[in-house]
């Protein structure tokens, strides 16, 4: 591989509205392997880019079920292993186990999606191709970037760059892989 492969083209926009508009047009014109980089979550962007992922929420449910089961097993198991008879009160007192069951449900329902969110996002990660782009530090300030990745069927370093300029990008930069 003599020629360095490109990661994609990064187009810079001034406002979230301009980004949304460009992303919509790029989708309509057949581009599929798109991503965007924004300083804050832009409402409606996921729909335009057709990103659907509810795994984080399912992880929350899984964590809750896991925590609840763990808490009940732990408390029932401890009382089964060493029954403490306090004034004849029930050994398996579910109402008394409810507090810890609730706490562990919440604990794991919080930990699973938090860790899962990072894992699905591929974070932590020390470097990523887009960081090499000259304006990319503005993606956490007040600029909104649309990225056409090199994997897209319609990707062509020059024609796609011109296309992005036509749909309103203020700068377009080729990001090396």
Partner 1 sequence: MTMSEAPILPRDQSLGDVTDQLARIPLHFPTRRRWLIALSLSMLLLTLFAVSVVVLFTRGVGIWGLNIPVNWAFAIHNYVWWLGIGHAGTLISALLLLMGREWRNSLNRFAETMTLFAVVCAGIYPVLHLGRPWYLYWMFPYPATMGVWPQFRSPLEWDIWAVLTYLTVSVVFWYVGLIPDLGAARDRARRRGWQVFFGVLSLGWRGSAVHWLRWQQAYRLLAALAVPLVVSVHSEVSLLFAAGTIPGWHSMIFPAYFVLGAAFSGFAVVAMIAIVIRSLFALKNLVTDDHLDILGKVLLATGLMTAYGYVFEIFDAFYSGEAHEIQTVHDRIAGAYAWTYWGAIVFNFVFLQLLWWRCARRSPLVLFLVSTSVAIGMWLERYMILVTSLYRDFLVSSWGSYTPTFWDWSIYIGTFGLFMVPFLLIIRLFPVIAISETKEVLHEEQAEASHG
- Site residues for partner 1 per CB under 8 A: 16-17, 35-42, 45-46, 49, 51, 53-57, 60, 74-75, 78-79, 81-82, 84, 86, 89, 93, 96-97, 99-100, 102-104, 106-107, 109-111, 113-114, 116-118, 120-121, 123-128, 130-131, 136-142
Please identify, using beta-carbon distances, which residue of 29 and 50 lies nearer to partner 1. 50
From the CB of 127, what's the least distance to partner 1, in Å? 7
Secondary structure of residue 154 in the 3-state scheme: coil
Nearer to partner 1, 49 or 161 (CB): 49
Sign, CA dihedral 20-23-25-27, equals: negative
Count how many Cα atoms sit within 13 Å of the Cα of residue 166 in the half-sphere of its side chain: 9
Identify each DSSP E strand in the chain by its residue range: 6-13, 34-37, 144-149, 171-176
**Which DSSP string corresponds to 27-76?**
HHTT--SEEEE-SSPPTTHHHHTT----HHHHHHHHHHHHHHHHHHHHHH
Q: How near is the Cβ of 95 to partner 1 at its closest, in Å?
A: 9
Instruction: Closer to partner 1 by CB, 123 or 153: give it.
Output: 123
Residue closer to partner 1 (CB basis): 107 or 167: 107
Q: Name the token pair of 171.
A: 């700068």
Least separation in angstroms between residue 66's CB and partner 1 is 14
Smallest distance, partner 1 to C-beta of residue 170, A: 14
């Amino acid at each position: 591989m003599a020629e360095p492969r490109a990661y994609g083209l990064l187009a810079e926009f001034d406002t979230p509205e301009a980004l949304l508009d460009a992303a919509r047009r790029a989708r309509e014109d057949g581009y599929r392997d798109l991503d965007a980089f924004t300083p804050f979550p832009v409402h409606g962007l996921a729909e335009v880019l057709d990103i659907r992922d509810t795994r984080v929420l399912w992880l929350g449910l899984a964590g809750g079920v896991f925590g609840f089961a763990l808490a009940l097993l732990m408390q029932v198991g401890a009382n089964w292993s060493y029954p403490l008879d306090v004034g004849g009160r029930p050994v398996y007192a579910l109402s008394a186990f409810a507090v810890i069951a609730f706490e562990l449900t919440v604990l794991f329902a919080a930990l699973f999606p938090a860790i899962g969110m990072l894992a699905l996002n591929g974070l932590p990660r020390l470097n990523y191709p887009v960081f090499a782009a000259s304006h990319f530090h503005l993606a956490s300030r007040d600029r909104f970037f649309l990225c056409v990745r090199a994997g897209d069927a319609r990707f062509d370093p020059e024609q796609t760059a011109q296309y992005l300029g036509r749909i309103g990008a203020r700068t377009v930069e080729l990001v090396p892989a």
